Amino acid sequence: MSEAEVDWRPFCSPIRDQGGCGSCTAFGTISAWEANIKIKQSKEVDLSEADLFFCSGGTCELGNTMDPVLNRAIRGVATEECCPYVDKTRLCGMGRCSEWWKTGVKLEVWHSITDIEQMKDALFLSPLVGVMAVHESFLHYVDGIYHNLGEQDQIVGYHCISIVGYSESKKAWLLRNSWGTGWGMKGYCWIQYGDSEIDEIMYSLNLSDEEPKPDEPICSYARFVSKIPLVGWSMIKLYRKIRKLIFGIEAGIP
């Protein structure tokens, strides 16, 4: 039976900013992953969104889908210190330290969840990875319980976030975004159950105690450059708009 309210924010890493790159699939995944490690293993880690994203075949221009990112997480990911984030497309392994696997981590397995009660049961244990449709109004969210404004509220893209709680009294999910602390409730948002396709699918993560194994890059820029992503924004103009809205500057996009 689900609890009335769950809020994992105290166990989450500091809010990140993906900048002008469509790398949300990596940010949403690592956000939930780092919190899982802190909750279940009592360790604080800072994992590399760049390593996960670019080694799963993602590009800043086209983003990526969920399956390649989650499957790459099973193979392993470096730490942020080993492979610092940049919001410009690069090849897998570029800028990564040697012997990254010695400090990196990996997942054992991931599961997709499509039943809402099962989502709540899983959230009682740890945060999940989520996917949503982004309406124009979402860009301007400040606080309160978000819901889109209907047919006139245009969908401008799809986005990966992490789900870090829910409230039965609010009838809302608590999501964690990757647009910096200047957006929303210092990077977080309550979103109404059923809104913006938020609870059509979520992903749970099972941790592994094994050390990642060194391997050749399994994906390249060319492999996915012609594919249209289901998740991860390909609309660079949208990123420029977000950055200008929040910070009053244009995104530094190549």
Residue 115, C-beta contacts closer than 8 angstroms, at least 6 positions apart: none
Residue 130, C-beta contacts closer than 8 angstroms, at least 6 positions apart: 28, 160, 161, 162, 163, 173, 175, 198, 202, 203
Q: Does residue 254 sit within a domain? A: no
Q: Report the SS3 class of residue 76.
A: coil
Q: Report the SS3 class of residue 102.
A: helix
Q: What share of the chain is helix, strand, coil (3-state, %, to 5)?
A: 30, 25, 50
Q: Does residue 239 sit within a domain? A: yes
Q: Which residue's entry shows tokens 């809302």?
A: 172
119-149 burial, b at 16+ Cβ within 10 Å, e below that, comes to bbebbeebbbbbbbbbbebbbebeeebbbbe
Q: Does residue 210 sit within a domain? A: yes
Q: Does residue 36 sit within a domain? A: yes
> pLDDT per residue over 97-145, tens digit each?
999 999 999 999 999 999 999 999 999 999 999 999 999 999 999 999 9
Between CA 156 and CA 160, with CA 158 as vertex, the angle to 5 degrees is 140
- Cα atoms in the 13 Å half-sphere on the side-chain side of 149: 10
Give 214's pLDDT tier (boundaries 50, 70, 90).
Answer: confident
H or E stretch including 176? strand 172-176
Q: Does residue 212 sit within a domain? A: yes
Q: Which domain holds residue 186?
A: 5-9+18-247
Amino acid residing at 129: V
Q: What is the DSSP letter of 109?
A: E
- Cα atoms in the 13 Å half-sphere on the side-chain side of 236: 12
> pLDDT per residue over 78-100, tens digit each?
999 999 999 999 999 999 999 99
Residue 56, C-beta contacts closer than 8 angstroms, at least 6 positions apart: 25, 26, 64, 68, 69, 71, 72, 219
Average pLDDT, the chain: 88
Which CATH number does the domain housing residue 120 bear? 3.90.70.10
80 phi and psi angles, rounded to 5 deg: -65, -35
Residue 237, C-beta contacts closer than 8 angstroms, at least 6 positions apart: none
Alpha carbon distance, N-terminus to C-terminus of the chain? 49
For range 176-185, the mean pLDDT = 98
Q: Does residue 252 sit within a domain? A: no
Q: Does residue 253 sit within a domain? A: no
- Give the residue ranges of DSSP H helices in the chain: 24-41, 49-54, 66-75, 116-125, 221-224, 236-247
Query: What's the domain count of the chain?
Result: 1
pLDDT for 231 = 44
> pLDDT per residue over 221-251, tens digit each?
334 333 334 444 444 445 555 555 554 544 3
pLDDT for 244 = 55
Q: Does residue 154 sit within a domain? A: yes
> pLDDT per residue over 56-71, tens digit each?
999 999 999 999 999 9
Least confident of 193-197, 212-216, 245-249: 245-249
For range 25-32, the mean pLDDT = 98
